[in-house]
Structure formats: C-alpha cells, structure tokens
Structure 1
Amino acid sequence: MSLTERLRAALAGESSHVPIVGDEYDRAGGVYAPAAVLVAITDRAEPGVLLTLRQPHLRRHAGQIAFPGGRMDPEDRDAVAAALREAQEEIGLDPGAVDIVGISDTYRVGTGFAVTPVIGVIPPDLTLAPHQAEVAAVFETPLAFLLERGNHVLKTVMWEGRERRFHEILWEERRIWGATANMIVNLARRLEAAAT
C-alpha cells in the first residue's frame, strides 16, 4: 500500500482512537476561532514531514516548531484552502504541488483556536522560500520517527494556574511540543488504528 493510500485509509471516516483535543476550558465564551495547518509529507522511500521554526519575536508561539498554518480568513472556502494559502505564504509551497489526502482531528489550543490539520503528500526536495518575518527555518523530520510511540513523551506543567498535559518529541536538536506534537500523536494513533 502506498503512503497516500495508508494516509487516506487512516483519515477516512471516524477513528477508533480517542483524540487528544487540547484545552477543555472555555475560551472567549466557548468560541474557538477556526484555523488550519498543513501536515506536508514528502513522498520518498523514507517519508518526512515539513516543519517550521517560528521566528523568536512573534507574538504567538515565538521560537516554537510548528506546521505551516494559521487562522482561516473569510475568503478561505474551507480548512484545506486555509492550510494551502498559509503554507504558500509561510514557506513558498505551491498549492498545486500538494496532493491532499484528508484531514485529521481538530485540536483546540489555549490561544483560542480550533486547528484542523490538513494532511497532504508533496514531491521530495521542493525548493521552498520561507517568509523571513515569520519563519526562521524549514526542515524535514522523518515520518517514521514522529509516528514512533516511544518518541512521544507526555509532560505536565502548571500554566495560568492549571495543570496542562502535552506531548514532547525530541529530534536531533529540535524540540517539538505542545499542539504540534499532540497533532502528530493524533495522526500516529489514527495510522495505528487503521493498521489493525
């Protein structure tokens, strides 16, 4: 089964796993602003996932590792359109180069967004152009490493007077944590469930 077929099978319909959904407390009266990210997976013998390192001066999630993405704009027809637009703006990824295979579990973040991960397969070794004001670096992490359950470390911290739980994935010198890591864990669980 090809990478695209495996991903489509994992994302089709309801999953048997219980997704990590993020913050359960009310934000802005229980309203979360819609957002989307692109989980771009390179189609190669050993697939990788494109991730960005956000600039350290940004107001939200400064210096963190993230998927390209952001808030849905009124002109975005859906989460797929928003994810593709954001990826083009942030890393110069041509939307025509992305084979969309589906969406994963929506994830709520403490900054008040409900984030839809859009999963797409891209050709390897594309030339990308990071938006310097937002993106400090673009890099590829092996998909197999990200999906390996043993690399998903559950952490607990106190934040704004409440206990928060999140996953952390350490790859080389990179620390992938919080919403990005939790969305990776959700995708890993979907793939595991589809394989059984």
Structure 2
Amino acid sequence: MSLIDRLREALTQPSVLPLLEGDLPEERALASVPAAVLVGITDRPDPGVILTVRREHMRTHAGQVAFPGGRIDPGENSVEAALREAWEELGLDPGAAEIVGAIDPYRTVTGYVVTPVLAVVQPDQPLSPHEHEVADWFEAPLGFVLDPTNQQYKSALFQGRERHYYEIMWGERRIWGATASMIVNLSRRLQWN
C-alpha cells in the first residue's frame, strides 16, 4: 500500500483518544482568524515531516519550530492557503504535494483557528527558506514525532496561570506548543505504527 493510501485509510478511522482542541480553552471566543498549515510528509521508506524554524524577529512565535502556513486569504480554502504558504515560505512546488486531506482545526493562543492540511511530498525537493520569515527548515522522522513516548506533556506559568503544552525533542530541535499539539492530534488520528 502506498504512503498516501495508508494515510487516507488511517484518517477514515475514528480517534481512540480525544483530540486537543486548542490553547487556552477558556478563551475559545478569541480564536477567530482562519489559518492553515501544510503538514508535508515525505514519500520515503521512512517518511519524514517537513518543519520550519521561524526567524527571531517575527511578531508571533519568533524562533519557534512550525509547519509552513499562515492566514487564509479571502477567496481561499485551507488547502489553497497551505500550499500557497509552503510555496512562499519554502519554495515548495504545489505540484510536488499530493493532498491527503484537512484534519481537525486547532485554536492557538494568538487567536488563530488553524486547519492542518496533510500532504505527501516527493522526497528531496529543492527547498529554499524565505529569507525574511524562515531561518531554517528540517525533516523530522514521522515515526519519531508520532510516537506518544516522544510527546512530553509539560507545564509553565503563562499570564499568571499554569498552562499545559506538549513538547517533542528531536535532537536539538524543540517542537512545542501548537505545532506539537497538532502532531499529537495527527498521531491520535493516524494511530501510526
């Protein structure tokens, strides 16, 4: 079975564990800006997931690991926005990404409702980070990030309250917050093994 068929079949199954809805659940009404990210899975014998490192000067999530993505522009749907953002941020040719489907939206603390768009990407694409937005990019092993033993549940004080979040450490790369939570949701949906 091909990778894309395996992913499509897995997404048709119900999640055994509850999915994470978003950050700051008591402030759901604040999350209202539609956005999309591309969860690019490389079509390799051992698939990887493409992630970016945001530049330090960015207004939100500076220096953090993220999926390529951003706001949905007027007239766009989540798939179009995710492909456009991956093109703008990494130079990822939209024709090199085969869409599997959109998965469950996630609300961020910064007021976005993010729809992750899962796609299978041809391996070894010549990616070129946007000089003003992306400091770096990398491919983390899909099996590693989807493994619940690598998804650490942590807490920290935020705005005077204890907040909980997920963190995935892959080498020196710290994947945390909304990106890690979307990976946790993906692992719960795919039940990858």
Same fold judged by TM-score > 0.5?
yes
8 Å CA contact retained: 1:37, 1:67:
yes
SS at structure 2 position matched to 1:89:
helix
For 2:15 and 2:102, how far apart are their aligned partners in 1? 12
- The aligned counterpart of 2:190 is 191
Length, aligned pairs only: 192
| Structure 2, unpaired ranges of 5+ | none
Matched, 1:53 2:53: yes
Answering whether residue 64 of structure 2 is matched by residue 64 of structure 1, we say yes
Q: Which runs of 5+ in 1 are unaligned?
A: none
For 1:97-176, list aligned pairs within 5 A.
97-176=96-175
Partner Cα separation in structure 1 for residue 133 and residue 10 of structure 2? 32
Q: What CA RMSD, in Å, does the superposition of the two structures yield over aligned residues?
A: 1.5
Deviation at 1:171, TM superposition (A): 0.4
- Once the two structures are superposed, residues 97-134 of structure 1 have per-residue CA deviations (whole angstroms, 9 ceiling, x without a partner) of 11000112110000000000000001100001110100
State yes or no: 1:33 paired with 2:22: no
Q: Give 1:9 deviation, angstroms.
A: 1.6
Identity %: 57
| SS, match of residue 9 in structure 1 | helix
TM-score by length of 2: 0.94
How far did residue 184 of structure 1 move? 0.4
Given the superposition, is the C-alpha separation of residues 69 and 14 from structure 1 closer, same or farther in structure 2, using an over 3 Å criterion?
same
Query: SS in structure 2 opposite 1:56?
Result: coil
SS state at 2:18 partner: coil
1:38 maps to amino acid: L
SS of the residue corresponding to residue 175 of structure 1 reads strand
CA drift of 1:11 comes to 2.1
Tell me if structure 1 keeps the 8 A contact 2:13–2:189.
no
Name the structure 2 match of 1:96: 95
Q: Which amino acid aligns with 2:116?
A: P
